[in-house]
Structure 1
Amino acid sequence: MTEKFVMLTFDLEEFDIPEEYGQTVSEYDQMNVTLSGMERLLKVLEKHQINATFFTTGNFARYNSSLIKKLAEKHEIASHAMYHSPTHDFKESDIEESMLVLKSITGKDVSGFRMPRLRSFDRSKLSGMGIRYSSSTNPTYLPGRYNSLDKNPLPAMQDGMMELPCSTVPVFRFPLFWLSFKNLPTGLYNSLCRITLNSRKNLMLYYHPWEFADIGDYKLPGYVKSPDGEKLTSKLELLIQSLLAQGATFVTCSKFIGN
C-alpha cells in the first residue's frame, strides 16, 4: 500500500492581521496572542506525537528565542522572512536575514521558505541561498488576493528546488487552507482532506498559531476570527484523528522531500 503523508504546517508570526482591517495592535500584544495560541496548539501536537513545520518570521524568533530553540528539538523551523506586517517593504535580504536569525537560535540550517501572505516574489534566487523547498503557492483562485490556477497543484521541482503547494481538492482546486478549515463544517472539511489524501497521497495544510488564541474581541471579519480558541483547537484534534484513522503519516516538509 502506498504511504500517505501529511505535512501539518503553521505560519509562526506576529498577530498583525488586524492591520489589514485598520486596527492597531501593539507589538507586545501581537506576540502574546500568538504565544497563547501556541500553548493550545502544542498540547494537541504533543498528545498525538506529531512533528510539524513552523514557518517562522525572524522578528518573532528574536523576541521568543527560548520557544524557537525548544520547538527545534522536535519540529522543523523554516523561514517566513523577517517580518509579516503588510506595511513592511519586503526585500530579498529579509529571507537571508531570517535564515541567519533562525540558525543562530536553533543551531540548525534552514531548508524551507514560505512567503508572507503568499505574495508573488522572485523565487529564482532561493536555491542559491540554501533553500531546498518553498511552500509559497496556493494553486487556486482567491478573489481579491490571487489567481494561481495556472500553478502546478502537485509537489514538483522548480527553480532548482522543490515547490510544495498548499493542498487543493483534485479537479475543482478548492483550497484546503486555514480559512476553509475555520469556516467549513468539520465533517465536510475532514472529508475533503481525506479525498485529497487518497488521490494524491500527500497533504500540505497550513494554519496560524494565533487562530487558536481567543481573538473574538478584535475587529476582524467573522470568517477570519471565528471559530477560535478551544473550539478551533477541538476542530484540529478531530482532523488529526480523522487522518490518522485513514493511515496517514505526519511528517515535516524536509522529511517529505527526503522521501
Structure 2
Amino acid sequence: MIKNFVMLTFDLEEFDIAEEYGQKVSHSDQMTVTKTGTERLIALLDNHNIRATFFTTGNYAQLNPELIKAISLKHEIASHALYHSSFHKFKETDILESKNILENITGSKVTGFRMPRLKSFDHKVLSGWGFVYDSSINPTYLPGRYNLLHKSPLPYRENGLLELPCSTTPTLRFPLFWLAFKNLPIGLYAALCRRTLRKRKNLMLYFHPWEFAEIGDFKMPGYVKSPDGIELVDKLDKLIQNLKKQDAEFVTCQEFCETLEIAGESMKSV
C-alpha cells in the first residue's frame, strides 16, 4: 500500500518582509519576531510528535546558534541561502557558506536547499556542493512572480538533484502555499490538501515562523499579516489534526527523499 506523506516546511529567516512594503524593521525585531513564531511552532510539532524541515538562512543561524542546535535535535535543518533580505547582494558562494555554517552548528550534514523567494538556481552547482534535493519550485502561475506551469508537480530528478516541488492542486494547479493557508477558511484549505494528497501521495507545504508571531502592527497588506500569532498556530493545529485523519505520515524532506530512493520510484515529469 502506497503511503501518503506530508512535509511541513518552514522558511526560518530574518523577519524582513515588512521592509518590502517600505517599513524599516530593526535588527532586534527581525530576530525576536522570528524566534517567537519558531518557539510556538516547535511546541505545536512536539505536541503532535511530528518532524518537520526548517530551511534556515546562514545569517539567522549564526545569530541564533543555540536555537538552531535545539531544533536540529528532532527536526531537519536545510539551507535557505545566507541572507533572505533582497537588500543584501547575493553571491553564488553564499549558498555554500550557509551550508557550512549550518553543518558546523548542528553537527549534521545539510542535504536540502530552498532559494529565498523561490528563485531558480543551477542544480548542477547544488549537486556539486553535496546537496541531495532542492525545493524551490512552485509549479503554478503567480502574476508578477513566475509562470512555472511547465514544471512537474511531482518529485523529479534534474542534473543529479531531486526536486521536491511545492504542492499545487491537481488540474488547476492552485498553489497550497502560505498565503493560501492564511487566507482560505481552514475547511476549504484542508479539503484542497486532502484532494492533492489522494492524487499525488505527498504534500509539500511551506510557511514562515514569523507568521506565527504577532505582526499586526507592521505596515503590510492584510492578506500578508492576518491572521497571525496564536490564531494562526491554532489554524495549523487544525490542519495537522485533519491530515492525521487521512493516515498521513509526517516526514522531513530528507526522509521523503529516502523513501523515494528505497522504493526506486520513477520520478518523471507528469
Q: Is the 8 A contact 2:182 2:232 kept in 1?
A: yes
Q: Is the 8 A contact 2:123 2:160 kept in 1?
A: no
The aligned amino acid for 1:257 is C
Tell me which stretches of 4 or more aligned residues in structure 1 moved more than 3 Å.
none
Equivalent residue runs for 1:105-254 within 5 Å: 105-254=105-254
Q: Deviations over 1:88-133 (max 9, x none)?
A: 2212101100011001100111100000010133332100000000
Aligned with 1:126: secondary structure? Answer: helix
Q: CA deviation at 1:147?
A: 1.1
- RMSD between aligned alpha carbons? 0.7
Equivalent residue runs for 1:11-90 within 5 Å: 11-90=11-90
Could you list the runs of 5+ residues in structure 1 that have no partner in the other structure?
Answer: none
Q: Is the 8 A contact 1:168 1:174 kept in 2?
A: yes
How many Å separate the matches in 1 of 2:224 and 2:208?
11
Query: Which piece of structure 1 moves more, 161-170 or 144-153?
Result: 144-153
Aligned with 1:108: secondary structure? Answer: coil
Q: Is the 8 A contact 1:19 1:86 kept in 2?
A: no
Q: CA deviation at 1:187?
A: 0.2
Identity of aligned residues (%): 66
Query: Which piece of structure 1 moves more, 142-151 or 129-138?
Result: 142-151
How many Å separate the matches in 1 of 2:84 and 2:119?
11
The aligned amino acid for 1:74 is K
How many Å separate the matches in 2 of 1:2 and 1:254?
18
Matching residue of 1:6: 6
How many Å separate the matches in 2 of 1:159 and 1:229?
40
How many Å separate the matches in 2 of 1:208 and 1:102?
18
Q: Is the 8 A contact 1:61 1:101 kept in 2?
A: yes
The aligned amino acid for 2:121 is F
How many Å separate the matches in 2 of 1:38 and 1:128?
31
Q: Deviations over 1:233-254 (max 9, x none)?
A: 1110000000001100000000
How many Å separate the matches in 1 of 2:89 and 2:148?
23
Normalising by structure 1, report the TM-score: 0.99
Q: Tell me the number of residue pairs that the alignment of Structure 1 and Structure 2 aligns.
A: 259
How many Å separate the matches in 1 of 2:64 and 2:87?
22
The aligned amino acid for 2:19 is E
How many Å separate the matches in 2 of 1:86 and 1:188?
33
The aligned amino acid for 1:194 is R
Normalising by structure 2, report the TM-score: 0.95
Could you list the runs of 5+ residues in structure 2 that have no partner in the other structure?
Answer: 260-270
Q: Is the 8 A contact 1:154 1:165 kept in 2?
A: yes
Q: Is the 8 A contact 2:123 2:161 kept in 1?
A: no
